[in-house]
A and B are shown apart, each in its own frame.
Chain A
Amino acid sequence: AQSVAQPEDQVNVAEGNPLTVKCTYSVSGNPYLFWYVQYPNRGLQFLLKYITGDNLVKGSYGFEAEFNKSQTSFHLKKPSALVSDSALYFCAVRDTSGTYKYIFGTGTRLKVLA
């Protein structure tokens, strides 16, 4: 079965420091991977995706993600965190077995401390 794991419930980082939010996946075939951000009582906003090609993907608001096929990981990164980055982050994989569902991780709460 295809799945996504976000091993950290919460990540704390000081403002101005680099941040990493971890995601690992399990899929059959080529992975289609996504990162979303959610602010309180709002829907999910798309940040970036990996489909094919360059392993470093750049997205919105200065975020980027590194795809690592051997480690089956797709970690979200940002060189310098802002307090306004504090939110809930979800990693997702597209089911390519025929249903094309999006399968989400349990989410990681990012807290950026001033």
Chain B
Amino acid sequence: DGGITQSPKYLFRKEGQNVTLSCEQNLNHDAMYWYRQDPGQGLRLIYYSQIVNDFQKGDIAEGYSVSREKKESFPLTVTSAQKNPTAFYLCASSPGTVSTEAFFGQGTRLTVV
């Protein structure tokens, strides 16, 4: 089946730790995105990548890092610099054409313990 897979579904992080969220797609999409979802705030863009080996900061990039070494993979690292990382994280991908919708993964819920 074609799709976008996020893992793990649940993740717990201790204070001061870095953690990496995985996002893999087999849709052959050029663009990939990371969003953070908090109650009442909708989806806020963290990072996005329009092509392999290139990515740009979104609206709330501080405390996060990404890489795009392969077309199908766009991992997100939540660093210790992110002061309030507890949230639901969503990865999405889309083809290169402007009229197409984004396809979303099932999300990763990160909790700081």
The answer to whether the Cβ of B1 comes within 8 Å of any Cβ in the partner chain is no
Count of B residues near A, CB < 8 Å? Answer: 27
**Which of A44, A96, A101 is the one whose CB lies under 8 Å from B104?**
A44
Count of A residues near B, CB < 8 Å? Answer: 25
A51 CB contacts on chain B under 8 angstroms:
99
Given A43-B106, A44-B104, A107-B42, also A102-B92 (CB < 8 A): yes
Given A42-B107, A99-B56, also A49-B101 (CB < 8 A): yes
How far apart are the CA atoms of A46 and B90 in the complex, in Å? 14
* Contact residues, B56-113 vs A (CB, 8 A): 56, 58, 88, 90, 92, 94, 98-99, 101-107, 109
How far apart are the CA atoms of A92 and B41 in the complex, in Å? 14
How far apart are the CA atoms of A106 and B42 in the complex, in Å? 4
Contact across chains for A101 and B40 when beta carbons are under 8 A apart? no
Mark interface residues in B36-60 (1 if CB within 8 Å of A CB, else 0).
0000111101001010000010100
Mark interface residues in A70-114 (1 if CB within 8 Å of B CB, else 0).
000000000000000000001010101001111111110000000
The answer to whether the Cβ of B31 comes within 8 Å of any Cβ in the partner chain is yes
Chain B facing A: main interface SS: strand
The answer to whether the Cβ of A28 comes within 8 Å of any Cβ in the partner chain is no
Contact across chains for A44 and B99 when beta carbons are under 8 A apart? no
A99 CB contacts on chain B under 8 angstroms:
48, 50, 56
* Contact residues, A39-69 vs B (CB, 8 A): 41-46, 49, 51
Binding site for B on A (CB under 8 A): 9, 32, 34, 36, 41-46, 49, 51, 90, 92, 94, 96, 99-107
Binding site for A on B (CB under 8 A): 6, 31, 33, 35, 40-43, 45, 48, 50, 56, 58, 88, 90, 92, 94, 98-99, 101-107, 109
A and B contact pairs by CB, cutoff 8 A, 5 listed? A34-B101, A43-B6, A44-B102, A49-B101, A104-B35
